[in-house]
Structure 1
């Protein structure tokens, strides 16, 4: 797929780190599967992965976590 941000690169399957922040909570998700632009590094998540990330963030906020690090490779 052509990157919609830089318009110069194509995406390839890879892994990224996603950071979510809400209020006093920061969630760092490592090894998130994504399609990554080979030119600019912008990434695209599928809907299932995006839903999992958002759910993880909601859970961290609801339990009052200040910093939570999640490795999706082993999750």
Structure 2
């Protein structure tokens, strides 16, 4: 079993950092910059905590309801 601070994919070290999240739910892209994430220093795999993912889901749903063509934010 891998250690919690080791990447399951490559064995690299995971560390806190930030990423850019983007999705196109069909009505136009939504981009969030500076999203807190855990990132592998070797392969670059990113993990977003459940609470942050839920916040992103809310943001995307609000953008869909507003029918924005592009929504760019920072968390």
Bin for the TM-score computed over the shorter chain: 0.7 to 0.9
- Shift of the alpha carbon at 1:40? 1.4
Note the aligned Cα RMSD (angstroms): 1.0
Structure 2 spans left out of the alignment, 5+ residues: none
Give 1 or 2: higher strand fraction. Answer: 1
How many residues are paired up?
A: 71
Normalised to the residue count of structure 1, the TM-score between the two structures is 0.87
Higher Rg of the two aligned structures: 2
Structure 1 spans left out of the alignment, 5+ residues: none
1:17-60 superposed Cα distances (whole Å, 9 cap, x missing partner): 00011113211000000101101111111111010011100100
Q: Which runs of 4+ in 1 moved over 4 A?
A: none
